[in-house]
Amino acid sequence: MSGWIGLEKNLQEKTRKNVIGWEKLRLKIDFHVHTHYSHDSLITPDELVFYAKKQGLDGVAITDHDRLDGALKIAKETDFLIIPGIEITSLNGHITGLGVQEPIHSRLSADETVDRIHEAGGIAVACHPTAFFKESLGKLTTSRFDAVEVINASAFPFRYSVRRNQIIASRLGSARVGGSDAHYGPEIGCAYTLVDATSSVDDIIKAIGKGLCQPLGGAIPLGTRLKREFLMFKRNF
């Protein structure tokens, strides 16, 4: 546990040194959260808001697997800031569309998926591009993407993933975001993004496109991961 905590503090310190005026970034947002509209998530709408507020977040992006209806429904039913999103299964790996208002078809090429996200008024994020045991884009992460998810709290191996994602973002000159990839309430906010924007979804999306954002956070603790797996097993059987 102390290793993860130390890594998180180290990442935060490096971020603070590298970002001019980081203290002025206004919003703290987790850009990668799954609700029970995803087949592999336990998070209800009430739990989403409860844990987001508990972690001091100003908002979350709901990014359920290949569906947008849950995000749009929850956004209408709560006063808490919800950025509608979707984690799309492309032929080349997972891609997150943020700020979209219509669903994006899965099983398209990465390039075509990015085009569809842009046509829907959103931004395309290469999520967990180097993580193991996930459908990651790897070398197919290109400058067509608006941002790279540099910190994904559920990625394994975590340190390797963050380091490789930083390299990709630097090479592409892309905006950098972070998210928990939460599938269980207590995982929300383990990683997040500071954004220099107002609490308008459009303003947040534009700020990311301009690179006015910075990821922070650490890995989901092992104990929390194990608890999630136990609860998922219990639910399914």
Return the pLDDT at 20: 44
- The residue-averaged pLDDT of 98-104 equals 96
- Give the single-character DSSP code of 223: H
CB-based contact 46:53 (threshold 8 Å): no
- The residue-averaged pLDDT of 151-167 equals 95
Name all domains of the chain by residue range, CATH numbers in brackets.
2-232 (3.20.20.140)
Q: Is the pLDDT of residue 19 over 80?
A: no
How far apart CA 20 and CA 17 sit, in angstroms, is: 8
Return the pLDDT at 203: 97
CB-based contact 60:192 (threshold 8 Å): no
Which residues, 6 or more positions from 77, have their beta carbon under 8 angstroms from its beta carbon? 45
Instruction: Decide which of 237 and 52 is more confident.
Output: 52
Q: Is the pLDDT of residue 57 over 60?
A: yes
Which tokens belong to 201? 């979804």
The pTM assigned to this predicted structure is 0.89
